[in-house]
Amino acid sequence: MIELFVKLFERLGILAIIFIFSLRLSAVKRLLLGKATAWEKVILALVFGAIGIAGTYMGIPIQNAIANSRVIGVTLGGILGGPLVGLFAGIIAGGHRFLIDIGGFTAVACGLATVTEGFLGSLLYHRLKRRPFDAVVALACGVLVEILQMAIILLVAKPFEAALGLVQVIALPMIVANAVGLAVFVELVDSVYREQERVGAYQAQTALRIALKTLPILRSGLNHHSAAKTAQIILEMTDLDAVALTDKVNILAHQGIGEDHHLSGHPILTAATKSALAEDSISVPMTKTEIGCSHDHCQLSSSIIVPLRKWDRAIGALKLYRIKGTAISPLDMELADGLAHLFSQQLELSEVENQRKLAKEAEIRALQAQINPHFLFNAINTIISYTRTKPQMATDLLVKLAEFLRKNTNPGLDQVPLATELEHCQAYIAIETARFEDRVKVNYEIDEELLDYKLPPLILQPLVENALKHGILPREEGGEVIVGAYKDAGFMKIFVQDNGIGMSQAQVNSIFSRNPQDKSHKGAGIALKNINARLVALYGAEHALTIESAPQRGTMVSFSIPLA
């Protein structure tokens, strides 16, 4: 029995070598990662069936039978590929044991047991496992299926006395050796699986780090500048020999080996790149000939070329190079594919962001255009009335009107100093004061430190106009408007306050109502809606207009702008 133990463990070493070589098969690797196809599982059933057959041939003859490790191959196939792989591996190895004349009165029993072990062992393992590859559960399964095999030998093999004598000798060595062997093999698989996960995680982390570094660069789109910086980042963070990015026709950037002739701005040199872009598909040329560089002394010998897409159409390509032929690894392919997807999404987001900015600018321009000089007709009449009695005042008012119209219809900059906005207000107030004389009074409470701080143009004057037109002038005796600006916790607070007729809370609520049927206080609401929309578009909802009002007690409209 001791000798049998030793010989079985010797055979396990040989099987382990065979199995380690099988782990190099791409189908086995994909199986470990859960990516094997149905046809690959058929191939794996053949592989593990063959390992089971090898276990038979390496068996130890004893009492007209064979003590062997056939169970390891078929059960391991079931553990890795599922019950069906285990079943077919068992049919292959068990059928071989039954059909091929290699001696022994247990051929039928062992053939039947092998099929049963491959199927039931994998079922049991997949029900009990606590993680993908669990050596402890594999050990338990090995013990159970070997006990099952001994039971089948006792039930099927004839004569019974011979079967019993055989089981008494081989049961303990085969149960222990094969169960331990199965556990060791599963632990070996687990180590390979963990290594694959570690490498995959590192690759994903590298891709993510590259994406994070290139995100602000690619916001400007795919151009020579962004492509050069992106290629340099990829080259620095990987062990690649060269990195390139192209558009549909030209090289945008090439960093590393070959940058002496793969020049930015020049037409694409490689036939493989042209083909990948034309077919909008990934290309993996593994030789200089397949790359097809038109430069005679190009050192680049293998590459992965992945199209960059924007809205499902190819706009360029990402290319990773190595100077050694057939050196592009599956990890290189995964990195290139992952980066291409990330870059494509970044480019799409950059276009969305650009369109959003253009839409916002168009909206703001449209809102500015809606701020019309309502008082133009009356202002001209006022100026005409002064041309005979006070010609100098008429001249001054005409200058003020020209200044007002110029700033109101062509604000120019996106932001202007507070001082400029106040000048605009003063031009308007000068005209209105000339019209209504003593009925209009305007005071300023401005922190002079804020005069150089900027705000959007055409914000302040419409608020003053609204206060005069809808607050002060409806009162026979007129009233006062106060324009103020002060600092408060990192913000510039601006307000326009009047002591006019005021509004009810219902009227205040109706100003920003989205209900098109709500026409209450419509005249006052147009200017306020326009200004509020601009502030929200530029700074966010927290910087919207605030309106405080009460009937016969006046109105104050205020807002804030970040100083930084």
Average pLDDT over residues 457-469: 86
- For residue 343 the two structure tokens come to 């870059």
Q: Please check the confidence at residue 450 and state whether its pLDDT lies above 60.
A: yes
Comparing 326 with 482, the larger pLDDT belongs to 482
CA-to-CA separations, 126 to 91, 114, 129, 138, in angstroms, rounded: 20, 18, 6, 10
List 316's β-bridge partners, or say none. Answer: 247, 308
Tens of pLDDT, residues 120-133: 888 888 888 877 78
Spatial distance between the Cα atoms of 232 and 254, rounded to a whole number of angstroms: 9
Least confident of 260-264, 401-405, 520-524: 520-524
SS3 assignment, position 367:
helix
**Cis? peptide before 132, omega within 30° of 0:** no
Tens of pLDDT, residues 69-90: 888 889 888 888 888 888 999 9
CB–CB of 382/398 below 8 Å? no
Q: Please check the confidence at residue 5 and state whether its pLDDT lies above 60.
A: yes
Class of domain 219-366: alpha beta
Average pLDDT over residues 149-167: 91
What local confidence, expressed as pLDDT, does residue 407 receive?
64
pLDDT band at 516 (very low <50, low <70, confident <90, very high): very low
pLDDT band at 560 (very low <50, low <70, confident <90, very high): very high
Average pLDDT over residues 317-336: 87
pLDDT band at 537 (very low <50, low <70, confident <90, very high): confident
DSSP 448-481: GGGTT-EE-TTSHHHHHHHHIIIIITTSTT-EEE
With 0-12 / 13-18 / 19 or more C-beta atoms within 10 angstroms meaning exposed / middle / buried, residue 441 is: middle
Q: Please check the confidence at residue 524 and state whether its pLDDT lies above 60.
A: no
- For residue 558 the two structure tokens come to 């205020």
CA-to-CA separations, 342 to 211, 309, 313, 347, 491, in angstroms, rounded: 7, 10, 15, 9, 38
CATH topology of domain 2-197: Arp2/3 complex 21 kDa subunit ARPC3 (1.10.1760)
pTM of the model: 0.48
Comparing 77 with 102, the larger pLDDT belongs to 77
Percentage of the chain lying above the pLDDT 90 cut: 24
CB–CB of 519/454 below 8 Å? no
What local confidence, expressed as pLDDT, does residue 143 receive?
92
Q: Please check the confidence at residue 323 and state whether its pLDDT lies above 50.
A: yes
Q: How many CB atoms lie within 10 A of CB 214?
A: 20
Q: What is the CATH number of domain 376-562?
A: 3.30.565.10
φ, ψ at 238 (rounded to 5°): -135, 175
Q: Please check the confidence at residue 556 and state whether its pLDDT lies above 60.
A: yes
Average pLDDT over residues 136-164: 91
Nearest to 31 by CA among 39, 42, 20, 41: 41
Mean pLDDT of the chain: 83
What local confidence, expressed as pLDDT, does residue 371 receive?
46
Tens of pLDDT, residues 342-390: 888 888 887 777 767 666 666 655 555 554 555 566 677 778 877 877 8
Average pLDDT over residues 140-148: 91
Residues of the chain with CATH 1.10.1760.20: 2-197
Spatial distance between the Cα atoms of 74 and 109, rounded to a whole number of angstroms: 16
| Helices (H), ranges, 219-308 | 224-237, 271-279, 288-291
| Helices (H), ranges, 83-222 | 83-99, 107-128, 135-156, 160-218
Q: What letter represents residue 237's amino acid? A: M
Measured over the CA atoms of residue 123, residue 129, residue 134 and residue 135, the dihedral's sign is negative
Q: What letter represents residue 273's amino acid? A: T
Tens of pLDDT, residues 205-257: 888 888 888 888 887 788 899 899 999 999 998 889 999 999 989 999 999 99
Tens of pLDDT, residues 500-510: 999 988 888 88
Nearest to 203 by CA among 248, 234, 179, 171: 234
Contacts 24+ apart (CB under 8 A), 34-40: 36/81
Tens of pLDDT, residues 161-183: 999 999 998 889 889 988 998 88
SS3 assignment, position 129:
coil
Q: At what angle do helices 83-99 and 70-81 cross, to 10 degrees?
A: 160
Average pLDDT over residues 398-425: 76
Average pLDDT over residues 134-147: 90
What local confidence, expressed as pLDDT, does residue 26 receive?
64
Radius of gyration, alpha carbons of the chain: 42
**Cis? peptide before 457, omega within 30° of 0:** no
